[in-house]
């Protein structure tokens, strides 16, 4: 090796071999990786299985804590809704604490933006109208398939007295849509859409949403089908807008119209 020659260096710490005064060749791989969008959703089916597997334990824990608290303070209520709603609220809180831990600890991502809790391109009023129209459409389908009027846990609790109905309405308009949309349209649907495409993803995510309400409505498959159809509408809103907030508003207005009709009709609820 002569004095004019310099050894070639290699490895991550090596300098560029370009002559002085000339620009270094760009790192193509680094440039491409920097411009590639992050895949969404970034979670996987193992996370979904963990979340689903902890649903029942979280709900049981919420129920046990409410029962223990009532027993500790000697509180007794003749209204099942007074125990049911706090227990369900605590169960939701534990469940979404688990989901937040998954997103934060496994992927170092925030909770709300990860689940697409963002502003929608569709104006608020049109989102509300979409929920009201969905309720009317589902009611029409219920008429076509001659949905039976049967005793079930949901109506039995709601119709016990006017206070129970009001409490159920508040919970059903404010808490249930938020929780269910975050779980089904925020967490589940994007994962299925990534695997099967938008149409199949929306449809598949609506199935467990309908089954969730199967026992609530006296094991009536017709009720489960109707709620799954509503879930398709909510899923379409989520997919079209990219916003779980939009599907939640739509869901809340859907429930709101149903509770308004029930309250307006009275349904024989004793005024106590």
Domain span at residue 58 reads: 41-112
Give which of 183, 154, 187 is closest to 251, Cα–Cα.
183
> Are residue 176 and residue 255 in the same domain, yes or no?
yes
> Are residue 140 and residue 248 in the same domain, yes or no?
yes
Q: Does 212 fall in a domain?
A: yes
Q: Does 6 fall in a domain?
A: no
Query: Among the three residues 112, 147, 169, which one is the final residue of a domain in this structure?
Result: 112
Q: Does 253 fall in a domain?
A: yes
Residues 183-195 have pLDDT tens digits of: 999 999 999 999 9
> Are residue 147 and residue 186 in the same domain, yes or no?
yes
Domain count, the chain: 2
Residue range 28-32: mean pLDDT, rounded? 48
> Are residue 79 and residue 125 in the same domain, yes or no?
no
DSSP code for 25: P
Let me know: does 249 contact 124? Beta carbons within 8 Å. Answer: yes
pLDDT-derived band of residue 150, with 50, 70 and 90 as boundaries?
A: low
Residue 165 clears pLDDT 90, i.e. is over it? no
What's the confidence (pLDDT) of residue 15? 44
> Are residue 67 and residue 180 in the same domain, yes or no?
no
Residues 6+ apart with CB under 8 A from 215: 153
């Amino acid at each position: 090796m002569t004095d004019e020659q310099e050894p070639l260096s290699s490895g991550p710490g090596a300098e560029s071999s370009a002559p002085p005064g000339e620009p270094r060749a760009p790192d193509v791989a680094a440039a491409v990786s920097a411009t590639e969008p992050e895949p969404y959703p970034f979670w996987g089916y193992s996370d979904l299985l963990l979340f689903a597997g902890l649903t029942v334990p979280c709900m049981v824990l919420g129920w046990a804590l409410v029962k223990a608290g009532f027993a500790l303070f000697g509180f007794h209520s003749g209204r099942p809704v007074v125990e049911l709603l706090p227990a369900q609220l605590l169960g939701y809180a534990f469940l979404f604490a688990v989901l937040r831990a998954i997103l934060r600890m496994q992927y170092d991502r925030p909770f709300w933006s990860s689940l697409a809790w963002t502003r929608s391109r569709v104006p608020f009023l049109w989102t509300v109208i979409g929920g009201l129209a969905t309720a009317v459409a589902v009611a029409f389908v219920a008429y076509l398939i001659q949905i039976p009027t049967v005793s079930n846990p949901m109506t039995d609790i709601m119709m016990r007295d006017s206070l129970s109905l009001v409490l159920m309405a508040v919970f059903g308009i404010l808490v249930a849509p938020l929780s269910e949309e975050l779980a089904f349209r925020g967490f589940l649907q994007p994962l299925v859409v990534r695997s099967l495409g938008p149409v199949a993803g929306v449809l598949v995510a609506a199935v467990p949403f309908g089954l969730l309400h199967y026992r609530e409505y006296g094991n009536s498959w017709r009720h489960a089908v109707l709620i799954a159809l509503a879930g398709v509408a909510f899923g379409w809103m989520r997919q079209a807008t990219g916003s779980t907030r939009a599907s939640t508003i739509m869901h809340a207005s859907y429930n709101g119209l149903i509770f308004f009709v029930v309250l307006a009709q009275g349904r024989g609820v004793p005024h106590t």
